[in-house]
Every structure is written in structure tokens, then in C-alpha cells.
């Protein structure tokens, strides 16, 4: 099963990294873990640099500085109750997948964080892609109970991909 992941490359380092395959693997693993059929959903992943993500972070979050990953869900999906999983969106069809939203990921910040944390860039980026897909699905980490749920879900998905606990 494949999900419809559209890739936008604004920094060629993402092409060399293999962002298309990484995004597909992260999205499929996340959706499958949650009991969703990956071929019935779609999302966009943009690989950019720190300057571009700083502009987006300033525009959308009023924080004009680089960050590792940003996400824009196609609709609000969060649960009303702290620590409760959000309700999953209705599926589309393979011909017309339900849109989940957009993710942007910044090369320099990801590479720097991976080095600082003693992780491979691949494993760190996979974690951030899974994290971004979960945000598109309504998961969040503002409240402690929500953060615990999101982190545990990330751990399980990453383990299914052979990636060690990032926390």
C-alpha cells in the first residue's frame, strides 16, 4: 500500500537524502499503525532550508526563526480531551485520496540536531516526518497528557521502521 505523498524540493540536499522515499515510508508506517489505509490519504512534504522555514515559522506561528518541521493540517482534528487520541479523518479513494495537509522540513536544522543528539540524519528525519504526519492527524504535545500519547505513538511507529527510541 502506498500513500499519495507529493514532494516539493526547495533544497537539493533533500533530493540527495532521498526525501521522497523517507516521506513515503514515514507516512505509510504512521497511517498503517493507526489502522488507516495509506492509499486512501494524501499529503505534501516540502524539503527546504532554514531560511525558508524561518519565513514560514514567522508567517504562520509568529516565530521568525528556523525550526525543524512545521505542519499544516487540512482541517482541525485534535481531541477535546487531553491524552485522548484524535478521531481519524474519513478516507478518500485511491483515485481521490483524502487530503491530510502539508509538512515542511528544514535541512540545516535537522542535520544540526541529529549531530547534537548523536543520531543519524536519516533516523532524525524519519522521526520528524512521523511527528509531522501525527500533527496532520490531530496529535499534539502542548499538554503533558497529549505529549505522552504522541511520544508513545512515535516510539511504536519508529520501532516498526527499525529506528531507536528518539527520546
Give the residue from 31, 9, 4 showing the smallest Cα distance to 136.
31
131 annotated to bind ligand: yes
Cα–Cα distance, 41 to 122 (Å, whole number)? 24
What is the 3-state composition of the chain as percent helix, strand, coil, each rounded to the nearest 5?
Answer: 45, 15, 35
Cell of 74: 487540512
33 annotated to bind ligand: no
To which residue does cell 522555514 refer?
A: 53
141 annotated to bind ligand: yes
Residues making up the annotated binding site are 131, 135, 141
Residues making up the annotated binding site for Zn(2+) are 131, 135, 141
Amino acid at each position: 500500500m502506498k500513500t499519495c505523498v507529493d514532494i516539493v524540493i526547495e533544497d537539493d540536499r533533500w533530493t540527495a537524502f532521498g526525501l521522497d522515499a523517507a516521506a513515503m515510508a514515514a507516512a505509510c508506517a504512521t497511517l498503517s499503525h493507526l489502522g488507516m489505509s495509506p492509499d486512501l490519504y494524501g499529503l505534501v512534504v516540502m524539503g527546504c532550508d532554514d531560511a525558508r522555514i524561518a519565513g514560514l515559522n514567522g508567517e504562520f506561528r509568529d516565530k521568525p526563526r528556523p525550526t525543524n518541521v512545521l505542519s499544516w493540517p487540512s482541517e482541525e482534528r485534535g481531541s477535546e480531551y487531553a491524552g485522548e487520541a484524535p478521531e481519524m479523518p474519513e478516507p478518500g479513494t485511491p483515485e481521490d485520496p483524502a487530503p491530510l495537509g502539508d509538512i515542511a522540513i528544514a535541512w540545516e536544522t535537522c542535520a544540526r540536531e541529529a549531530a547534537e543528539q548523536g543520531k543519524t540524519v536519516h533516523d532524525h528525519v524519519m522521526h520528524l516526518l512521523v511527528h509531522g504526519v501525527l500533527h496532520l492527524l490531530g496529535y499534539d504535545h502542548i499538554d503533558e497528557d497529549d505529549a505522552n500519547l504522541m511520544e508513545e505513538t512515535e516510539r511504536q511507529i519508529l520501532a516498526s521502521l527499525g529506528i531507536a527510541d528518539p527520546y
